[in-house]
Amino acid sequence: MPFRLFFLALVMVLLVTFIGFNIENRCDISFAVYTLTDVPVVITILSSFALGLVAALPFALRRRNRPALPKPPRGRKAKGKPADGEAPRDERFPEGGTGLP
């Protein structure tokens, strides 16, 4: 837990240092019909990062439609022979392999 707090403090110090050094750097942001003038570079970078996070959010939260794999039975009873008395089958050979002799 203290490591997380130290890491957060370190990130905040780096962020404030970055903002402090770039507060005087200004740029113009041009949209198709409107232009923002004298915008600090820090605001441009942070807003681009935030818009990238928002754009990636649906991909990170979407559900994957994978077929559910059946789970093998657990316990001692599941490891024995099948209930109908046949020899256990090796699943690597679906055409009728009965496992190792």
Per-residue pLDDT reduced to its tens digit, 36-67: 999 888 888 888 888 988 898 888 787 777 67
Is residue 24 within 8 Å of 41, Cβ to Cβ? Answer: no
Is residue 87 within 8 Å of 98, Cβ to Cβ? Answer: yes
Q: What integer pLDDT is reported at residue 37 of this predicted model?
A: 92
| Comparison of pLDDT for 18 and 91, the residue scoring more | 18
* Structural domain spans, the chain: 20-62
Rounded CA-CA distance 39/47 in Å is: 11
**Reported confidence tier of residue 70, pLDDT bands at 50, 70, 90:** confident
